[in-house]
Amino acid sequence: MANPEIDAVNQDFNRFDQVEKNHTYRLAESQADEFDAEYEIQTFDIGRYLHGNEADRQKFAEEFGTAVQEIGFSVLVGHDVDTSIYDEMNDRVEELFTTTAMQDKMRFRAARQGSVSQGYFPIKETSDIHPDLVEGWVWCRRAFDMPQQRSAPFRPEDFWPDEKYESIFRRLTTAHEALFKPVTQAMFQGLGCDPHLYDEKLTQTNFGLRLNYYPPLGEADNASGAGRLLGHEDVDLFTILPAPRVGGLQVWNHLNNKWVRLIAPPGSIIINTGDYMQRISNDRLPSTTHRVGKPLDGSHIDIPRISFPMAVYVWEDEILEVLPGLGEPHYEPIKAITFHTRSTSKFYGDDYAVESPPAGN
């Protein structure tokens, strides 16, 4: 593992960026950071888009689209996901991390499959560039018994320390999959584009479910200056994050270079756009920086924090190209795996990037 620097800033690593990011921020929370208590990340009822008439849908797309174009984040209610799934997830994620033997976790140590590094990430090893005080686990579509192209029968033992977790976590991935197209359609409609441009790409598309288990912090780690999760932008179309029970999520407000503490109501979903979306929207939908710091209530000393964000991807061979109607493209078309792995080699090392031959070769 490389030498993670507690004081590092994002611009130390800007050679990996595949979309424009001009701001400078420290990866971990610092005394020098400024917080913005005024900015309100807006909440919308997506039921208006899922079940409304054409006028309801257009109004939702404009309002939601405008909010996300401004800050890259919003909160959704009325999403039709059975929120008992979130309660079950909280319990089972804690159980998975606290009862699975370390040797069983390490059998599934994260490695790249396609674009995404999948498997178990030990504490302080989520990335090479910062010692995040979190344990993580990532599964993509192939780890679930869901409809998909397979060359061989599904073998849960290839992915799961105990296959009961596959069926429990599949309730979440299946419920969230129903939102992939409507959320994308609303974003595209909000940009004035054809809402259905990605319908085909999003049919049985890839995703990454990441579980985060932030253990209570011991004295040494609490005093170290390391963050719970470093400042970063998501490398995906967008992320679906059920509101975590414990605070700590901070969102960069590019309008004033301050951090906004985001606490969403129980049962709601936080949506944020990622690098893929910034690229295809010609910088209209920003990939907004966020991180996890210590919660204001001091609970990081006593209780764990659990979150289970789900990243929405397109498959590796798809081409990411600026959508038609959004002006002179700021970017060349690029194969998704190249775009994704060039970006995330920031976290995993230069040899992570998968280059593809130029078009026509």
Provide the binding-site residues for Fe ion, judged by CB under 5 A.
234
Residue 234 or 275 having the CB closest to Fe ion: 234
Placement of tokens 């259905």 in the chain: 196
- Give min distance, CB of 245 to Fe ion, in A: 18
Residue 64 or 308 having the CB closest to Fe ion: 308
Residue nearest to Fe ion (CB): 234
- Give min distance, CB of 309 to Fe ion, in A: 6
- Give min distance, CB of 27 to Fe ion, in A: 13
Residue 29 or 234 having the CB closest to Fe ion: 234
Residue 234 or 318 having the CB closest to Fe ion: 234
Residue type, 16: F
131 vs 127: CA distance, rounded Å: 7
Three-state SS at 260: strand
- Give min distance, CB of 234 to Fe ion, in A: 4
CB 265 within 8 A of CB 46: no
Residue 27 or 61 having the CB closest to Fe ion: 27
Q: Single out the residue of 44, 12, 47, 17 nearest to residue 28, CA to CA.
A: 12
202 vs 204: CA distance, rounded Å: 6
- Give min distance, CB of 290 to Fe ion, in A: 6
Question: Angle at which helices 164-190 and 84-99 pack, to 10 degrees?
Answer: 130
Helices (H) and strands (E) in the chain, counts: 8, 16
Residue 189 or 250 having the CB closest to Fe ion: 250
Residue 70 or 234 having the CB closest to Fe ion: 234
Q: Which two tokens stand for residue 290?
A: 């966020």
Q: Which two tokens stand for residue 107?
A: 């059998």
- Give min distance, CB of 137 to Fe ion, in A: 15
274 vs 276: CA distance, rounded Å: 6
**DSSP letters spanning 332-353:** --EEHHHHHHHHHHHHH-GGG-
In Å, how far from its chain's centre is CA 48?
24
- Give min distance, CB of 32 to Fe ion, in A: 23
Placement of tokens 């302080």 in the chain: 124
- Give min distance, CB of 232 to Fe ion, in A: 6
- Give min distance, CB of 231 to Fe ion, in A: 9
Residue 166 or 234 having the CB closest to Fe ion: 234
Sign, CA dihedral 350-291-97-209, equals negative
Q: How long is the chain? A: 361
Residue 161 or 244 having the CB closest to Fe ion: 244
- How close are the terminal C-alpha atoms of the chain, in Å? 36
Strands 73-77 and 43-45: parallel
CB 90 within 8 A of CB 242: no
- Give min distance, CB of 321 to Fe ion, in A: 24
Residue 74 or 189 having the CB closest to Fe ion: 74
CB 45 within 8 A of CB 186: no
